[in-house]
Amino acid sequence: MKLAELGEFSFIDRLARQVPPASGVVTGIGDDCAVTGMTSGTVTLTTTDMLLEGIHFDLSFTDPHRLGRKSLAVNLSDVAAMGGVPRFALLSLALPASMEVEFLDCFMAGFLDQARQFDVALIGGDTCASAGGFVISVTVMGEGVPGKVVRRRGARPGDAIYVTGTLGDSALGLEQLRRGVRQGEGVNRHLDPLPRVREGAFLAASAGISAMIDISDGLLADLGHILDQSVVGGVVELNRLPLSPELQQVVAAGGDDPYALPLAGGEDYELLFTAPLSSATVIHEVMRLFGTKVTAIGEIASQPGLTVKGGDGAIYPLKRRGYDHFSPCIVRVKG
């Protein structure tokens, strides 16, 4: 069945029936507004992200279930990057009338699956017809402890720079998908990223970290945001970058910019953060508590600018920093 036959209101009715009751939700889908309450004494963190067919995803290799999961994951990652706990989500969709209802059902199943995994309630949204492609807009509200929300500013000279997980896998996965590969660790990382929600909340609450961001545009681009906002510089060491076995092979294969994927590949959705050396012991608890690797990859410096050093101490020439929507495939290196 096509969406045109089902109609907007039947879709919303079906959707509302799939959403379980949740704490903090007084009124969910079905009225003019959702009515919610946050835990008393918390501050509210709000974030929104759009995903456009042809820009953010390619339906020739993206299945609807993982697209639904990813649409929510990228927003959860933003809440995680400030140390918040996500609570409520709004989902707005522009849908081509020719879309198959089954496709949309799979998309919603993926979205609600991710929501359940992170205890997030879908409380509303908007649905309209699209004259072009499929457009997804998600807004997430989360809560944080006042004074414990971690911002991009706050990095200090002498702080270590850390990253969770491994780098460059999602960008490798995207390259593989474009070449026709449909399986593998990188492909899965690209289509179904895991937001580091519990890690982010723990680091903010307990580890005395000074700045944090999630890696959506690439390590160097996102580290650049921390450095700019903190008015500091930084040094990253190539031989400390956490690389999966697949990425180690890519790097070993060489080429004119062997570290392009881990340095500038986007959409890893790992957490990048800085902290004084006194925080190191607590930071490494993340491995024991959540099974997530945390690696120190460099150091904050007082001199502005971002330097990447090879194992021999030589400076690695930066060809590109990451993704910029208005100049894709940028070769610009700032500062």
Q: Which residues bind ligand ADP (CB under 6 A)?
A: 12, 15, 29-32, 91-93, 122, 124-127
SS (H, E, C) 46-85: EEEEEEEECCCECCCCCCHHHHHHHHHHHHHHHHHCCCCE
How many residues touch Mg ion under the rule CB under 5 A: the total is 1
Distances, alpha carbon 149 to alpha carbons 164, 187, 205, in Å? 18, 32, 8
Q: What is the DSSP letter of 232?
A: -
**Nearer Cβ to ligand ADP, position 100 or 126?**
126
Q: Can you tell me which of 8, 13, 100, 126 binds Mg ion, judged by CB under 5 A?
A: 126
Helix (H) or strand (E) holding 105: helix 101-117
CB of 84 vs ligand ADP, minimal distance in Å: 21
Name the one range near Mg ion by CB under 5 A: 94-102, 118-126, 191-199, 286-294: 118-126
C-beta of 72 vs 221, nearer to ligand ADP: 72
CB of 76 to ligand ADP, least distance (A): 17
**125 or 234: whose CB is closer to ligand ADP?**
125
**Residues 6 or more apart from 266 whose CB is under 8 A from it?**
170, 171, 215, 216, 217, 218, 221, 322, 323
> Residue 275 binds what, of Mg ion, ligand ADP, none (CB under 5 to 8 Å, by partner type)?
none
- Separation of alpha carbons 122 and 22, rounded Å: 9
Sheet holding 85-95, edge to edge: 43-52, 135-144, 85-95, 121-129
CB of 113 to ligand ADP, least distance (A): 15
Please provide the size of the chain in residues.
Answer: 335
Closer Cβ to Mg ion, 124 or 142, answer by number:
124
The secondary structure of 137-204 as a DSSP string is EEEEEEEE-TT----SS---TT-EEEEES-SSHHHHHHHHHHTT---SHHHHHHHS----HHHHHHHH
Q: How far is the CB of 258 from ligand ADP (least distance, A)?
A: 43
Binder of residue 124, out of Mg ion, ligand ADP, none (CB less than 5 to 8 A by kind): ligand ADP
**199 contacts 81 by C-beta, under 8 angstroms:** no
Taking the least distance from each CB to ligand ADP, the nearer of 13 and 119 is: 13
Q: How far is the CB of 115 from ligand ADP (least distance, A)?
A: 11
Contact partner, 127, from Mg ion, ligand ADP, none, Cβ < 5-8 Å per class: ligand ADP
Cβ-proximal residue to Mg ion, closest one: 126
Provide, rounded to whole angstroms, the least separation between the CB of residue 51 and ligand ADP: 13
Name the residues that contact Mg ion, by CB under 5 A: 126
